[in-house]
Structure 1
Amino acid sequence: MNELNIDMKGIFAASVTPFDKENKINDKVLLKLMERNMKEGVTGFFIGGSSAECFLLSRDERMRLFEIAAENKNKTKLIAHVGAVSTDEAIKYGLRAKELGYNAIAATAPYYYKFSPKEIAQYYYDIYERVGMPIIVYNFPGNTGVEFDLKNKDFKELFKSPAIAGVKHTSLNLYQLERIKNLKNSLYMYNGFDEILLAGIAMGADGAIGSTFNFMYTHYKKIKEAFESLNYEEARALQVKANNIMEALCSVGLIPAIKYILTLRGIDAGVSRKPFSELDSAQKKYIEEILELNLVC
């Protein structure tokens, strides 16, 4: 039995943070976006993660995001990203998420300083002990610089411990996804790179957490359904189209591009915080053309 004591399999949207013209969090737009995603059928939401520009937000703003999204706690499933460089800061976020009724918390490994595996493992143990909720490890080595080498006994023991409920595996290393799952079968393994959703599911992922689900959840749902129906050719063709879109988004700036697409669709998400830059007219036109050719709703 997984320590979360609730079924958390499925596809979660990694929600963006909408900003108004004064560069403040736009409560109403976030709730509008969540409402649309719920109608589309998402399993739940990953709040305050990379897609939400979490490390460009103040501590108060991160708490505020949790509070806004918690208005939907009785309608959907919620995961709060509480990761920080400081253990104490991560614990504060975790305690607030628990108080608000979140189903789970997640945390990136502490970054910037080259913490040892023992120190990183202790960071998760400390959060678990103080907050009283098992954690979904946000494994994002490309951004944190932390590789969870399973040859290391501290990391191996961490994933097998009651402190860890799952992993958001934002890595192209699908062998590692399978090996982590093999350490403790009750772990929820979430594919974290949308562009390899099909492969992640094939390697044992229980679901996915992704940024592009904000606007194209139904496309990915079709990929999952085709795979589960053993229609592998259709699943792969849909993944190729999704990857054409992802390639375009990444070429102009993933998060600013997602916010532009949402705004096109009536969800005025505003612009991303600097040092992110706004899309120019040529980039906007390019994104629109790629969507027209590839998006399946």
Structure 2
Amino acid sequence: MKFEGSYVALITPFKSNGEVDEDKVRELVNYHIENGTAGIVPCGTTGEAPTLTFAEHEKVIKIVVEEVKGRIQVIAGAGSNNTDRAVELTKYAKELGADAALSTCPYYNKPSQRGIYEHYKKIAEEAKFPVMLYNVPGRTGVNIEAETVARLAEFPEIVAIKEATGSIEQMIRIQDLCGDKIEILSGEDHLILPMLSIGAKGVVSVVANIMPKEMKELIAAFLNQEYEKAYKLHTELYDVSRNMFIEGNPVTVKTAMKILGKIDNDIVRLPLVSCEEKTVDKLTKLFKQKGII
């Protein structure tokens, strides 16, 4: 299975009473399909997986798979710092008909590289399902080193990595060690162009929630060797990307989506809180300057 293009790290919209808004999830899925997104990634960091109940987590994956109907890929968030829970979620994604599971490096526990290897080894061997590693040490507290990625790439189930260290050097090292055994996707929107230049095949994107067409076109332009067009799109998206983390993720992107009329509210769950008014004003001004509104 090939993982290439723009994948959206989908937000989880909530109703005014705080419940998951199923109708809005389905609406967003179709919005992304219409705009050329390669795949939906529900229940990741941007989808507020840490504050979803187990039942909600599974429900959101089920809704997305049902609504996609095989039209694009679904990479279901299935990470946990409890290895058995990660195996359970990965098996559930498989049963539902997702294409792969996004599995974050175990967070808070701060395992050794051997522990990380054994964690993913158990998922691969027990779930028997394609897994995209997710390396984001800024959130998990530990880095999946390139050598560990290379060891894991020997498992046929470990098919890709979402790389969000921000280290170009590490990404080059992964590419050198793994070759075509694993596909690299950027986990940093503002680094997409340099990552593509060293062999990445796409992105799992936050900004694609609000600019899916432009993100899709950026990846396609580079892969089609239209480098001037890719650079132009990169510069257009860069400022927006950098401003999607003013008050953290997914807080800022939800506010952006509300400003642009893509969701009805920007409700997030504690311990997250919605953006302050000054951030709303800043984003509104930016979107007007960029011609987005």
Which of 194-203 and 233-242 deviates more? 233-242
Contact 2:116 2:144 in 1 (8 A): no
Question: In structure 2, how many angstroms separate the alpha carbons of the residues matched to 1:119 and 1:43?
Answer: 32
Report the residue type matching 2:159 in the other structure: A
1:162 positional shift: 2.4
SS at match of 1:106: strand
1:111 positional shift: 1.7
SS at match of 2:129: coil
Is residue 159 of structure 1 aligned with residue 180 of structure 2? no
| Correspondent of 1:148 among 144, 149, 160 | 144
1:194 positional shift: 0.6
SS at match of 1:185: helix
Question: In structure 2, how many angstroms separate the alpha carbons of the residues matched to 1:287 and 1:76?
Answer: 30
Cα pair distance change 1:123/1:270, threshold 3 Å:
same
| Correspondent of 1:110 among 106, 109, 131 | 106
Aligned residue number for residue 3 of structure 1: none
CA RMSD, 1 decimal: 2.0
Q: Which string of whole-angstrom CA distances, capped at 9 and with x for unpartnered residues, describes residues 73-93 of structure 1?
A: 322210011110111111111
- Report percent identity of matched pairs: 26
Contact 1:94 1:131 in 2 (8 A): yes
Aligned residue number for residue 202 of structure 2: 207
Cα pair distance change 1:225/1:107, threshold 3 Å:
closer
Aligned residue number for residue 126 of structure 2: 130
Aligned residue number for residue 177 of structure 1: 171
What's the TM-score, normalizing by structure 1? 0.90
1:258 positional shift: 1.4
Cα pair distance change 1:23/1:141, threshold 3 Å:
same
Runs of 5+ unmatched residues, structure 1: 1-5
SS at match of 1:42: coil
Report the residue type matching 1:140 in the other structure: V
| Correspondent of 1:90 among 81, 86, 91 | 86
Is residue 42 of structure 1 aligned with residue 28 of structure 2? no
Report the residue type matching 1:119 in the other structure: G
Question: In structure 2, how many angstroms separate the alpha carbons of the residues matched to 1:22 and 1:147?
Answer: 37
SS at match of 1:240: helix
Cα pair distance change 1:91/1:14, threshold 3 Å:
same
Contact 1:219 1:296 in 2 (8 A): no
SS at match of 1:52: coil
What number of residue pairs does the alignment pair up? 290
1:234 positional shift: 4.5
1:186 positional shift: 3.1
Q: Which string of whole-angstrom CA distances, capped at 9 and with x for unpartnered residues, describes residues 131-158 of structure 1?
A: 111311001111112212235xx55322
Is residue 33 of structure 1 aligned with residue 28 of structure 2? yes
Cα pair distance change 1:140/1:266, threshold 3 Å:
closer
SS at match of 1:11: strand
Contact 2:105 2:144 in 1 (8 A): no
Aligned residue number for residue 191 of structure 1: 186
Report the residue type matching 1:30 in the other structure: V
Contact 1:47 1:66 in 2 (8 A): yes
Question: In structure 2, how many angstroms separate the alpha carbons of the residues matched to 1:273 and 1:110?
Answer: 22
1:66 positional shift: 0.8
1:231 positional shift: 5.0
Contact 2:6 2:219 in 1 (8 A): no
Cα pair distance change 1:160/1:58, threshold 3 Å:
same
Is residue 139 of structure 1 aligned with residue 111 of structure 2? no
Report the residue type matching 1:267 in the other structure: I
Q: Which string of whole-angstrom CA distances, capped at 9 and with x for unpartnered residues, describes residues 79-132 of structure 1?
A: 011110111111111111100001111211112123121111111111111111
Question: In structure 1, how many angstroms separate the alpha carbons of the residues matched to 2:192 and 2:202?
Answer: 9
SS at match of 2:246: helix
SS at match of 1:160: coil
Q: Which string of whole-angstrom CA distances, capped at 9 and with x for unpartnered residues, describes residues 38-95 of structure 1?
A: 1001011111111001112111111111111111232221001111011111111111
Question: In structure 2, how many angstroms separate the alpha carbons of the residues matched to 1:176 and 1:224?
Answer: 21
Cα pair distance change 1:145/1:9, threshold 3 Å:
same
Contact 1:82 1:90 in 2 (8 A): yes
